[in-house]
Amino acid sequence: MKAPGHPLIIWRFSDGKAGHDHQSQGLIEALGRLQRVEVVEPSLLSTASALRALVACPMAWRTLPPPDLLIGAGHRSHLSLLIARHQRGGKIVVLMRPSLPLGLFDLCLIPEHDTPPARANVLSTRGALNHIHYSATLEPKQGLFLIGGPSAHFGWNDAALQAQIAAVLSADPAMHWTLTTSRRTPNSFLAHYRKRADARLTVVPVEATGPDWLPTQLARAGQVWVSADSVSMIYEALTAGAAVGVLDVPRIQATRISRGLDKLAGTGWITPFAAWQRQPHLKRPPGAFNEAERCAHWIVEQWLR
């Protein structure tokens, strides 16, 4: 337990992947809303450096304040997390299912679609954590389209997706929409919108967005439509509190990802496009959706009080 008045020292290990950083950032920000934190970001160790560190403390870590928590996401962070605890103490929080045995870590935050086992050191989460905050300033006539691209789990059909977007646009002439893409979006998809301008649709390619662009948009958009392949963006939109619709893209096969989407739809958190067609209305989430906040409360209640 931390002495009163002293900040919680967090070592955050980053593998440089934006999606992983958003997860650890979201958890750290949630912890910071509960108590004062100080964040240190040591460099990851290579495998060879990690083996050498078993007998000698890494020079770069010797001057760092001893950690209370060690947080990391992604397989490349695992050895560094373990060596840091061995050398300097603290408890490890690993995000997503680790590639090493679960028993090596103090707490594993694993999305439920990865079927985490029932263990004392495992906390199941609804999707991956994110750094989006609930917004009390959503604008009911402001909408957002978040478009992904083909992946290991989903195929792609430009024409079918564009037809769904056109149907949403025509359903409410008073709405203004913004559409953005991802690194996976085929060039042919955007070419369609360069030829057919719509005064109510602003298209912002992913290359024109910065790190704060999406959080800013999600703080405003009362309605958000996400292509089914972009699962992390679905969870981000839910966290913001928006009414969330899911645009259909071809499923290569039933997977843990698609089953997770089916569960969200079955419990009323999201509206698939086919259901919206029968009744063109997006429902707001049935409750608060902030997994980073929930996990931060667990850590504080179980370890720090």
- Torsion, Cα 184 186 191 192, to 10 degrees, reads -100
Q: What is the pLDDT of residue 152?
A: 87
Return mean pLDDT, the chain.
93
Domains of the chain by start residue, with CATH: 8-130+292-304 (3.40.50.2000), 139-278 (3.40.50.2000)
- For the stretch 110-154, pLDDT in tens is 999 888 999 999 999 999 999 999 999 999 999 999 999 999 889
- For the stretch 6-19, pLDDT in tens is 899 999 999 999 88
Average pLDDT over residues 92-119: 95
Report in angstroms the alpha-carbon separations of 141 from 72, 177, 273, 279.
Answer: 38, 8, 19, 18
Q: What is the pLDDT of residue 2?
A: 58
- For the stretch 239-264, pLDDT in tens is 999 999 999 999 988 788 888 899 99
pLDDT exceeds cutoff 80 at 96:
yes
pLDDT exceeds cutoff 70 at 78:
yes
At 47, is the pLDDT very low, low, confident or very high (cuts 50, 70, 90)? confident
The tokens of 45 are what?
A: 């160790």
- For the stretch 260-273, pLDDT in tens is 899 999 999 999 99
Name the region of 73 (left: φ>0; alpha: ψ -120 to 50; beta: rest).
beta
Q: What is the pLDDT of residue 52?
A: 79
pLDDT exceeds cutoff 60 at 3:
no
pLDDT exceeds cutoff 60 at 1:
no
Q: What is the pLDDT of residue 37?
A: 97
Share of the chain above pLDDT 90, in %: 79
Higher model confidence: residue 209 or residue 54? 209
Q: Residues 174-191, buried b or exposed e (16+ Cβ, 10 A)?
A: ebebbbbbbebbeeebbe
pLDDT exceeds cutoff 60 at 71:
yes
Higher model confidence: residue 4 or residue 246? 246
Sign of CA dihedral 65, 55, 21, 301: negative
Q: What is the pLDDT of residue 38?
A: 97
Residue 202's beta-bridge partner residues?
A: 178
At 4, is the pLDDT very low, low, confident or very high (cuts 50, 70, 90)? low
Q: For the residues of 198-218, what is the DSSP string, one character each?
A: -TTEEEE-GGG--TTHHHHHH
